[in-house]
Amino acid sequence: MISDMSRAVNVHEAKTRFSKLLKRVELGEEVVIAKAGRPVARLVPFVLAGALRRPGTAKGRITVAPDFDAPLSEELASAFLG
């Protein structure tokens, strides 16, 4: 099934109008390429991956209280348990 955001074109049209199809893809549209009426490929916008995460970049900026994992008081525990 082809979604509302995509447009199906046959291989010949894709070869003939490739630049125009790429412009549509740049605008966010998906283009499905079909061969003999059967979808075989999709042109979709390319999304760059986010910046690589590096462990330890927040070192020294975060502190954990010494009693972080201490048992909760009865009053606070009962507030959670209702």
The 10 Å CB-count burial string (b at 16+, else e) for 43-52 is beeeeeeeee
Specify if 53 maps to a domain.
no
Q: Which residues contact 74 (CB under 8 A, 6 or more apart)?
A: none
Specify if 25 maps to a domain.
yes
Residue 24: the pLDDT is 94
Specify if 20 maps to a domain.
yes
Q: Please report, for the domain that includes residue 29, its CATH number.
A: 3.40.1620.10
Q: How many domains does the chain have?
A: 1
Specify if 66 maps to a domain.
no
CA–CA distance, 46 with 53 (Å, rounded to integer): 21
Summarize pLDDT for 25-74 with one digit per residue, the tens.
Answer: 999 899 999 999 999 999 999 888 877 888 988 899 989 999 999 998 99
Angle formed at CA 57 by CA 51 and CA 58, multiple of 5 degrees: 125
Note down the domain range covering 23: 6-43
Rounded to two decimals, what is the model's pTM? Answer: 0.53
Phi, psi (5° rounding) for residue 77? Answer: -60, -40
